[in-house]
Amino acid sequence: MRYALVLALALAGCQQEAHSQQATDGPLSVESPLADGAGALERLDGQIATSRRTAITRAVEAASPAVVSVNVIAVRNVVQRANPMLEWFYGQRLPGRTIQQRIQGLGSGFIISPDGYIVTNDHVVSNGGVAVESTEITIAFPDGTQMQAELVGTDPETDIALLKVEPDASLPYLAFEEQEDAVVGEWAIALGNPFGLFEAAEPTVTVGVVSAVGRDFPAQQGRIFRDMIQTDAAINRGNSGGPLVNALGRVIGVNTVIYSQTGGSDGIGFSVPAWRVRQVVAELRETGSVDRSFYTGLSIRPVSARLAQQLGLSEAEGLVVTSIESDSPAEQAGLLPRDVIVTIDGEAVASNEAVRDRLVDRRAGDTIRLGVVRRGRAINVPLRLAEVQ
């Protein structure tokens, strides 16, 4: 209170000095935010309200109606063993009892077309790879509406799934960013349903920036995580499948993985980039699956330390060609047994898994560029990926 009083007195002194100066030196106007009372306060409120509406709030306002909750209930049959004491009493194994077990999953998704196509993660709808008798997928919209969804198709490698609902009217939807890559440092807004906190409500919003692009890390459970977007926008369980949007409200990625030592968000989340999602969704929409099969006629194996010595290599790196089928794309490309493939499209490869990762976006008909070491000399060999006959 003493500090407030001193401040008030100082202001009073300033006002007295101003009035005195006005009396002797001529007119002097002293503006005050409260000079005209309620009118000034209204103008001040208006200025603050205007400043609160940023690019982020506008992006959230535009994107939120198209973000949904994905509720999955699967039923599987489980054989329950008979009471071991009864088996001991009868001296033989008794038949078990089949019971139905319900598995529930919850995640997020977003609408990508007015007729009801919805993108989410494969791991949200795949029941952890467990074989089930039936699966029921319910979509909860922000306005409280719920609809049953059909599973159009999934791509486990990229962890993308496509769902479809049948709405009575056009739905709000999100557009993908047309640029190939997100921009490091730009706003990243994650929307979704963390921890399943809502079933029919506005999605939760967290904001950060694009921390990095092109992040690769080891495959997990058969999924390939390449060219991922890293963000510090908080992504938690239940956010899976939700969109990561930029300040324009356009989708730059699908929230998929978090790095966490606690099970919650540690400020490092990863999203599948929009350009890859567009490619996968187009194939799922057309055929219900992603066909990555192709034919080269090439057999390879990793170069071991002993094999590297035999081939005269300074290091055990790359994959050695062990055989080539007659009249195959590999033979037509001029590859030979004992050639060592060290790069694919400029990226190093040293294992079959690395080859699989490098070719995740390639399809039959594409041509890849192999970096090859042949008798100590480095050459480049273009190789066409042919359709499987």
Q: What is the pLDDT of residues 121-180, one digit of tens each?
A: 999 998 766 666 668 999 999 888 899 999 999 999 999 999 999 999 999 999 999 877
Condensed to tens digits (0 to 9), the pLDDT of residues 228-276 reads 999 999 887 778 899 999 999 999 999 998 876 665 556 689 999 999 9
Identify the pLDDT of residue 258.
82
User: What tokens does 329 get?
Assistant: 């794309």
Which residues have a Cβ under 8 Å from the Cβ of 90 and sit 6 or more positions away? Answer: none
pLDDT over threshold 90, residue 3: no
Identify the pLDDT of residue 45.
63
Identify the pLDDT of residue 6.
32
Average pLDDT of span 185-194 = 91
Average pLDDT of span 206-210 = 94
Instruction: Tell me which amino acid residue 71 is.
Output: N
Identify the pLDDT of residue 209.
95
Q: What is the CA radius of gyration of the chain?
A: 31
pLDDT over threshold 60, residue 198: no
Condensed to tens digits (0 to 9), the pLDDT of residues 66-119 reads 999 999 988 776 666 656 665 556 666 656 666 666 777 889 999 999 999 999
Identify the pLDDT of residue 178.
85
Tell me phi and psi for residue 13, to 5 degrees: -60, -40
With the CA atoms of 286, 287, 290 and 296 taken in that order, what torsion angle do they form, in degrees rounded to the nearest 10? Answer: -110
Identify the pLDDT of residue 24.
43
Share of the chain above pLDDT 70, in %: 73
Average pLDDT of span 37-58 = 70
Alpha-carbon distance of 382 to 212, in angstroms, equals 31
Alpha-carbon distance of 353 to 138, in angstroms, equals 36
Condensed to tens digits (0 to 9), the pLDDT of residues 281-340 reads 999 999 999 998 999 999 999 998 888 888 888 888 899 999 999 999 999 999 999 999
Provide the 8-state DSSP code for 127. Answer: G
**Bridge pairing between strands 367-374 and 377-384:** antiparallel
Ordered by where they begin, the domains of the chain are 66-164 (2.40.10.10), 187-287 (2.40.10.10), 298-384 (2.30.42.10)
**CA geometry: angle at 128 spanning 125 and 133, to 5°?**
70
Q: Annotated active-site positions, please?
A: 123, 159, 240
Answer for the pair 245, 252: CB distance below 8 angstroms, yes or no.
yes
Identify the pLDDT of residue 216.
86
Residue 351: name the closest of 314, 302, 315, 384 by CA: 302
